[in-house]
Amino acid sequence: MPKPLAERPAIVFAHAAYRLGDEFARRGTGFPFAEVRDAAALDARVGEADVLVLSGLWRDALLDRAPRLVLVQSVSAGTNQYGLDRFRAAGVRLASAQGTNERAVAEHAVALMLALTRRLGEARDNQVKRFWRPMISDPDARERELTGRTLLIVGYGRIGRRLARLAKAFDLRVIATKRDPATGAEGADAAYPDSALIEILPQADIVVLTCPLTERTERMIDARALAAMKPTALLINVARGKVVDEPALIAALAEKRIAGAGLDCTADEPLPADSVLWGLPNVVLTPHTAGETERYEANVVDLLIENLARLRRGEPLINAVV
């Protein structure tokens, strides 16, 4: 049975970098709060928390040390780090931050698409070397235009739908996979069931992953999927690193069986210094920052305040997981 929320709940924000407490203070709620930056500091404060706001610092063992805990508001869309059965047994609610970064992640996917098609990584490298690249006589070796190409969005949730709207400004044809295509394409030119992925991959010039990491999607982009892609195709991952079979991707990129990849996430993060991905010229890497903008704290605190109000009114939480 879920626990009731205290009249003045004590909130603990726990994140290594985000300044969530500063943003919360600006709202003037009057609720007591603390902000911690590491696991040791979280351990010291968790016992006083009615509400925890965190993601990467979570460990399920914290539930045993938090007798007052009513709600965990995740600051990330993904919740695979939380043991849901333990939450249910403890009567603690869990909500994700899904949707708070949909604009940012969709825009980042477009940025990676443009970085690869306009060869911005190469241009930056040439700038550092003070080298002015001459004109290229081979048309196939030049920058590409997006107009008229086909974009496949794998995982057509809020981020995917936002990306589809942005893609239409570039005159891209948009197709997508979703669990129930019978509900409609919702801005895409066509929608297919997840099971049709291998069949439709050969249509795509650009494949963008916006799906959650689940047992079903882990290593979904494997050697077979990569082999189904055009040799001129690009892969963009703004989902989770483990959605891709990384060794298979490295082989496909090194052997130029696909043209390139824009990766905001990798199987291991931070990406190990000895990873081959660092040195591949047809890869653009960003350090899992697709969802990070100057508005991220404000978006999360908006969600937190609304969910606190809903708890008090006995209404369903936004993005309720447990």
- Give the active site residues: 240, 269, 288
Q: 254 to each of 80, 89, 238, 271, 275, how far by Cα in Å?
A: 31, 48, 21, 18, 13
Six-digit token string for 205: 């010039």
The CA distance from 242 to 105, in Å, is 17
Q: Which two tokens stand for residue 120?
A: 């911005």
Residues with Cβ < 8 Å from 49, sequence gap 6 or more?
10, 11, 12, 66, 68, 69
**CA-to-CA distance for 58 and 49, rounded, in angstroms?**
14
Distance between CA atoms of 42 and 294, rounded to whole angstroms? 25
Distances (CA, A) of 180 to 17, 126, 162, 192, 295: 37, 46, 18, 8, 32
Rounded-to-integer distance, Cα 60 and Cα 265, Å: 24
For residue 317, which of 52, 60, 97, 59 has the smallest C-alpha distance?
97
> Are 289 and 263 spatial neighbours (Cβ–Cβ below 8 Å)?
no
- To which residue do tokens 């199987």 refer? 267
Enumerate the β-bridge partners of residue 320.
Answer: 95
